[in-house]
A and B are shown apart, each in its own frame.
Chain A
Amino acid sequence: MLDYLLSFLILTGAVFTLIGSLGLARLRDFYTRLHGPTKATTLGVGSLLIASALYFSTRGAGLSLHEVLVTLFLFITAPVSAHLLAKAALHLRLKSLAKPPEEEGGEA
C-alpha cells in the first residue's frame, strides 16, 4: 500500500517537473513561459519531497520531516523570484503576446 502511494507521488512529481520544463521550452513569449516552471515545478518538487519524507519516516530511525523545510522554502521563494522576473521583463520591454500595459514607474 505504502509502496503504491510512494510510487504515485514520485511519478506525479517527475511528470509535473517535466511539464513545467516543457512549458519553458514550448510556449512562445516570455510571460507565458514564466507560468510553466514557477508553478508546475513547485508542485512537482513538492510531491517528490513529500514522497521522500514518507520514505525516510517509514524506513529510517524515527520521523524524518526536514524535507518540509525545503518545500516551505520553495513555496516562499518561488513567487518572489517569479514576481522579480516579471518585473525585470516589463522593465526590459520584452515583446509579449498580450497587450502590454502603459508605462508607469513601478516599485516594490
Chain B
Amino acid sequence: MLSLVIPIAFALVGLALALTLWRLLVGPSPADRILALDTLYVNTIALLVLLGIHLESALYFEAALLIALMGFVGTVALCKYLLRGDIIE
C-alpha cells in the first residue's frame, strides 16, 4: 500500500512545485513572487518529509527544520523590504 501511495504523493507535490514556480516566473507584482517563494519552501518541506519516509531515513528532518527556519526569516526580510524599502534600519 505505502509503496503505491508514495510515488503518487511525489507526483502531486512535484506538480505543486511546478505550479508555484510558474507563479514565481509570471509574477506580476513583487508581492506575488514573494508569496510564490514562501509557498515554494513549504512545498519543499513536504517533498523532503516524503523523501525521508521513502528512504526510511531520519536525516532529512534536519534539512526540513532548517528550511522552515530560514524560509520564514527570508519571507519576513523581503516583506520588510517591500514595506520600508530597506531591510536593516
Contact = CB atoms under 8 A, between A and B. Distances in A.
Q: Check A-B contact in the complex, CB < 8 A.
A: yes
Interface of A: 3-4, 6-7, 10-11, 13-15, 17-18, 20-22, 24-25, 30, 33-34, 37-38, 41-42, 44-45, 48-49, 51-52, 55-56, 59-60, 64, 66-67, 69-70, 73-74, 77-78, 80-81, 84-85, 87-89, 91-92, 94
Interface of B: 1-2, 4-6, 8-10, 12-13, 15-17, 19-20, 22-23, 29-32, 34-36, 38-39, 42-43, 45-46, 49-50, 52-53, 56, 58, 61, 64-65, 68-69, 72, 75-76, 79-80, 82-83
Across the A-B interface, the 9 shortest Cβ-Cβ residue pairs: A21-B16, A14-B9, A37-B39, A14-B12, A84-B79, A88-B82, A25-B19, A77-B72, A7-B5
A77 B6 CA distance: 27
Nearest to B6: A10
Interface of B is mostly: helix
Interface of A is mostly: helix
A21 B35 contact: no
Given A17-B16, A18-B15, A59-B56, A66 B1 contact: no
A81 B19 contact: no
B30 A3 contact: no
Nearest to B22: A25
B46 A17 contact: yes
A14 B38 contact: no
21 contacts: A6-B2, A10-B5, A14-B50, A15-B12, A17-B12, A17-B46, A18-B13, A21-B20, A25-B20, A25-B22, A25-B23, A45-B45, A48-B50, A49-B49, A66-B65, A73-B68, A84-B83, A85-B35, A85-B75, A88-B31, A91-B83
